[in-house]
Amino acid sequence: MNPSLVVRELSAGYGGFAVLAQVSLEVRAGGLTALVGANGAGKTTLLKALAGVVPSAGTIRWDGVDIAAEATCRRVARGMVLVPEGRHLFGRMTVRENLELGGYLRAKTERAELIDAVLGRFPRLGERQRQPAGTLSGGEQQMLAIARALCGRPTLLMLDEPSLGLAPRVVAELFRIVREICAAGTSVLLVEQNVRQALAIADYAYVLERGRLVAEGSGKKLASSDLVQKAYLGADMTTPR
């Protein structure tokens, strides 16, 4: 598959403190790419740099166009949508109102069609669409965060620690849905500390350590590598950062 996102020598940080150092990676069109690593490796910073939330240096090419200088809203309009860690839902607003906000860039008719489609994919949200988002369970809130992003009709869906704090059964369901979203044609960049499950569903993956990429390959290849086996798969990393 051809890459839809090509990142070259990306560096980023906060207030003069460098977090990422010349990171280069690709997200293939229609593929699921995972980025794994320990706490503090820079995974969230990388997603924020791609979304334009934190300043960065380097090249970010989206469908052949360098967007490194573009504002976040312009990147969203191009189809790059981030589901942040912690979900960031509007808790007092209903499920449906959160979905409406996710499709704010779309025409009214298209937005309604997108909402109907995601409620079909997430039937529990359909049952709770008049319920305040803050009253949902943790798993339901994560599903809503993803559903809200889908209402923007993304071509690249960036997920930051979607399994954090969820029960194993819910995590399995969540990853199944993410794989289905990718199979339907949306490119996915998944940041995860649950290394075993992330690599199990990834077409391609990268390992980030201390702001630098140290390994890459197919999900299956990385899962069996000595580096990942020794550093990450002795015990899955599921503790919060």
In DSSP notation, 2-27 reads: -EEEEEEEEEEEETTEEEEEEEEEEE
Parallel, antiparallel, or unpaired: how do β-strands 56-62 and 65-66 relate?
antiparallel
**Paired strand residues for 17:** 14
pLDDT grade for 138, boundaries at 50, 70 and 90: very high
Taking residues 48-75, report their average pLDDT: 95
Homologous superfamily of domain range 3-231: P-loop containing nucleotide triphosphate hydrolases (3.40.50.300)
Residue 129 CB contacts under 8 Å (≥ 6 apart), including other chains: 94, 95, 96, 99, 119
pLDDT number for residue 38: 86
pLDDT number for residue 133: 96
pLDDT number for residue 3: 62
pLDDT grade for 234, boundaries at 50, 70 and 90: low
Residue found under tokens 């954090």 = 164
pLDDT for 145-172, tens place per residue?
Answer: 999 999 999 999 999 999 988 899 999 9
pLDDT of 230 > 90? The answer is no
Does residue 11 contact residue 20 with C-beta atoms inside 8 Å? yes
pLDDT for 70-93, tens place per residue?
Answer: 999 999 999 999 999 988 999 999
